[in-house]
Amino acid sequence: MQGAAAALNANSFSAHQVLDGVLQEGGATMGRRSGGGSPRDQRMRVSLIREAARLMAEEGVRDYYTAKRKAAQRLGAADTHNLPKNQEVQLALQEYQAVFGGAEHRLQLTALRRHAVQAMELFAPFRPRLVGPVLLGTADERSVIQLHVFADTPESVLFFLIDRGIPYEPDERRVRYGKDQLSLQPVFRFIAGETEVELIVFSEAGLREAPRSEIHGRPMERATIAEVRELVEHG
């Protein structure tokens, strides 16, 4: 492994290329799925990508499907089946934040990652892994720090919170493994300073296989505390 910073930079370098490719290549992937694709359809697809990314960046929409559907409604195409992939929206979001967020966004992201390191130090007995927008670089000031933690039982994490007097809110999160295997995981949320932290609890076996990402469908990216420190250092 060459380090989390290098890996994430490699994943995000092509934001401009992806959008330009959709414009210039005519949305070939979408065309193959639907049996064709007129220039008008291709332009609409690019517009949907950009509007969905803007909604996530400016209006705090967190769910990719919701962002795409709202984008379609605002562009007068509520019934379209020509929705882009989540990964296309993510790359456009990275581009949007780089162009319009600039140094301010980088500072916000670094601050969130520092907070993530502090939370990971606190929950070190549960071998935390950072996931989600704070890891991937698409977080903003409204984002939640999401940690996967691993324990024999969820009660171990619960008692850890209680013993330290940390107020929490319990919840559940549905995650996916493989093609169609779903699992309901316990969640504990709490506020650290002004930042919300979300602990998603897995069994010890959960260290061996990450749930599928909603963005690209492969096992989601997870980072150890050492890797998050590396990202902060290369901020």
What range defines the domain where residue 221 resides? 102-233
CA 152, 131, 195, 115 torsion-angle sign = positive
Question: Domain check: are 114 and 152 in the same one?
Answer: yes
Q: Of the candidates 90, 89, 93, 88, which has an alpha carbon nearest to the alpha carbon of residue 58?
A: 93
**160-215 tens-digit pLDDT:** 999 999 999 999 999 999 878 999 999 999 999 889 999 999 999 999 999 999 99
**Interatomic CA distance for residues 158 and 201, integer angstroms:** 10
Among 75, 101, 127, identify where a domain stops.
101
pLDDT of residue 37: 66
Q: How many domains does the chain have?
A: 2
pLDDT of 143 reads 92
Is residue 150 classed as helix, strand or coil in its secondary structure? strand
Determine which helix (DSSP H) or strand (DSSP E) holds 139, and give its type and residue range: none
CB atoms within 10 A of CB 142: 11
Do 118 and 219 lie in a common domain?
Answer: yes
pLDDT (0 to 100) of residue 27: 41
Domain edge (last residue) among 72, 101, 130? 101
Condensed to tens digits (0 to 9), the pLDDT of residues 37-78 reads: 678 878 888 999 999 999 998 888 888 899 999 999 999 988
Identify whether residues 21 and 109 lie together within a single domain. no
What would the DSSP string read from start to end of 8-65? HHHHHTTHHHHHHHHHHHT-HHHHHHHT---HHHHHHHHHHHHHHHHHHHHS----HH
